[in-house]
Amino acid sequence: MRATIWGCRGTLASPGPETVRYGGQTSCIAVDTADDSLLILDAGTGIRPFGMSLDGRRPKRVDVLITHLHTDHIEGLRFFGPFWDPEVDFRIWGPPAPTKGLEQRLAPFFSPPYFPVHMRNVPSRPEFLEVPDEPWTIGSVTVSAALVKHPGPAVGYRIENGDGSLAYLPDHEPGLGTDLTTIDKRWISGLGVAHDVDLLIRAGDADAALIACGGAMGGLLGPANGLFQFLGDELGARGIATLRVSYRRPNDANPTQ
């Protein structure tokens, strides 16, 4: 399994010389699958250059797994080439909500005065699906989702195939008001998704001291409270091979060294 990070910036796209090291596009990760389909995690502005990289390739099916509906995780969808292709089987997955379905919650971003084209007129006629409680299959991979602690609602994803496993937990505050080393592990938000995974992609600011959520808000939703130490000591001992920090604030510049 191979994952390519096309966008790792939080809150606001910020391309420019100061952010060229990690890029200025907002959240989007493409996961290679064994069949002629596309599996994409979040649809921030990074999804646009990913679509351009296809260079005319027309996938038969596209599945976009959205963690939550904050703008930096959905704003690129309107500019993703295959979204406008009537020959593509396009599916959008996202977190459930108690009052409105996923399509109802996304539709305002695809209608005047915010956008000139209504969702009902999108050529691919996307199907909107709220993530199920049990794992499900997309092409050659198995996907599972779980609600995580973040204003939203929000979910984290786990993707598995015969080669390995990947967990994606972008905006996420498991340590909000809690010392993670003192509570029952079953109550730690996101742990079920990340448990024993080969690659964990999660949020963090440039120095990994705060849970980055809200970019310019710079961790106002809660400090890590030992999260990274917990991940290293506890989850690392359970076989996690790699941790990647995918979320960087708009003002996080290139490292000096």
Max CA pair span of the chain: 52
CB-CB contact of 250 with 10 (8 Å) = yes
Q: What is the mean pLDDT of residues 83-89?
A: 96
Residue 252 belongs to some domain of the structure: no
Range among 115-119, 181-185, 208-212 rated most confident: 115-119
Instruction: Compute the distance between CA of residue 185 and CA of residue 80 in angstroms, rounded to an integer.
Output: 39
Give me the CATH number covering residue 169: 3.60.15.10
Between 172 and 58, name the one with better pLDDT.
58
Residue 172 belongs to some domain of the structure: yes
Q: How confident is the model at residue 223 (pLDDT cuts 50, 70, 90)?
A: very low
Digit-coded pLDDT (tens) for 24-57: 899 999 998 877 789 999 999 999 999 999 988 8
Residue 216 belongs to some domain of the structure: yes
Tallying the residues shown for the chain, one arrives at 257
- What is the chain's Cα-based Rg? 18
Residue 254 belongs to some domain of the structure: no
Instruction: Compute the distance between CA of residue 177 and CA of residue 44 in angstroms, rounded to an integer.
Output: 29
Show the domain range for 41: 3-247
Instruction: Return the SS3 of 209.
Output: coil
Q: Write down the H helix ranges in 118-231.
A: 191-194, 227-230
Residue 157 belongs to some domain of the structure: yes
Residue 256 belongs to some domain of the structure: no
Range among 15-24, 53-62, 214-223 rated most confident: 53-62
Residue 75 belongs to some domain of the structure: yes
Structural domain count of the chain: 1
